[in-house]
Amino acid sequence: MIRFAHPDLLYLLLLIPVFMVAFLLLLQWKKKARKKFGDSLVIGRLIPDYSKSRFTIKFIFLLMASVFLIIGLADPQVGSKLVKAERKGIDIVLALDVSNSMLAEDIQPSRLERAKQSISKLIDELRSDRIGMIVFAGKAYTQLPITTDYVAAKLFLSTVTTDAVPVQGTAIGDAIELAMKSFEENNMHSKAIIIITDGENHEGDALTKAKEAADKGIHIYTIGMGLPEGAPIPVFQGQNKIGYKKDRQGNTIVTKLNETMLQQIASAGQGVYVRANNVSAGLSKIFDEINKLNKTEIDSTMFSDYEDRFQYFLVVSLIFLILELMVIERKSKWVRNLNLFHLKQQSQ
């Protein structure tokens, strides 16, 4: 099997017919120019060393050198053998809390923004692992099905806001259940769920769902976004912060990290819990733990191992260039002296 590493360069071969037409026009112009000076026999005697055939041969050599040079630059490659490439990895579903409490700024710039920044860095570290994304508040929704398209993952991540889920709350149990459904049932891949939340106002039976996931071989890891002392929830009007959320009595609401709940969920899901802070969001530590899981084959691809052959074409091109340099347009002395008609007259 033959292919070209740079096939776009082959379009340069379209210039070859252009050069040929230009050469023919040049020959025609030279012929007309000589006729203007006088009879062709007289002109021939005035410039006895001129050789039309040598001029043509030099052009042909240059043309062939150009053809082989272009093909060489396009780098023809020959597939010599088939190679099997295996990709091994882990299926990971990220469940990101987008409730209003994630707008708290005890972790800068906010709990949600810091979580998104860390997820983006995690995606950059992925190689053969597959990743999916769920957003949740009072309900859980699939933001991105499990995929190896990391560009799409970062694109979907950039669109996540607290407006993604209209129902407020923190339904961790629903998020775990939806994450379990996101995995393919019949594959044997190692599976992990990473829950990123402040854990406050949890709804649903999160512990029961975590144990159910563990029974299916799915590990659950939790990251607590927020500090124990908590922080008020900012209220925005457009891009401007106009104050903080208050209860019915007019008191500022302080959202606090429910660390105990997240520890229990991680324990039930046979994973680990990490608390985020202003130095680290904890995803790198979680990813190190996930990498300890057995990585299974996600897929395999058969491809040809190609070898470059450009050097042969470049050598041929160089040979034609050398030949072109060796050919002199003017006739050599012994050819000029070879006059058959003159020899015939002497013999008579």
CA Rg value for the chain = 38
User: 95 with 56, same domain?
Assistant: no
pLDDT of residue 343: 43
User: 206 with 318, same domain?
Assistant: no
User: 214 with 245, same domain?
Assistant: yes
Cα-based angle 71, 24, 334 (whole degrees, multiple of 5): 95
User: 201 with 218, same domain?
Assistant: yes
Residue 259 domain-assigned (yes or no):
yes
pLDDT of residue 85: 57
User: 265 with 123, same domain?
Assistant: yes
pLDDT of residue 46: 53
Residue 288 domain-assigned (yes or no):
yes
pLDDT of residue 94: 95
User: 263 with 163, same domain?
Assistant: yes
The answer to whether residues 69 and 124 touch, using CB atoms and an 8 Å cutoff, is: no
User: 257 with 326, same domain?
Assistant: no
User: 114 with 260, same domain?
Assistant: yes
- Those residues whose C-beta lies under 8 Å from the C-beta of residue 210, and which sit 6 or more positions away, are 176, 220, 265, 266, 268, 269
Which CATH number belongs to the domain containing residue 261 in this structure?
Answer: 3.40.50.410
The answer to whether residues 54 and 328 touch, using CB atoms and an 8 Å cutoff, is: yes
The answer to whether residues 313 and 2 touch, using CB atoms and an 8 Å cutoff, is: no
User: 253 with 169, same domain?
Assistant: yes
Q: What residue numbers bound the domain in which 252 lies? A: 85-300
The DSSP code sequence of 253-301 is PEE---HHHHHHHHHHTT--EEE--SS--SHHHHHHHHTTSPPEEEEEE
User: 218 with 122, same domain?
Assistant: yes
User: 90 with 227, same domain?
Assistant: yes
- The C-alpha atoms of residue 189 and residue 72 are separated, in whole angstroms, by 45
pLDDT of residue 132: 95
3-state SS, residue 161:
coil
User: 9 with 132, same domain?
Assistant: no
Q: Look at the chain and report how many structural domains it folds into.
A: 2
pLDDT of residue 331: 54
Residue 80 domain-assigned (yes or no):
no
Per-block mean pLDDT, blocks of 10 residues, the chain (348 long): 86 93 88 67 56 81 94 85 67 94 92 92 86 94 92 93 87 94 80 90 79 94 90 88 89 90 94 84 82 68 68 94 80 48 44
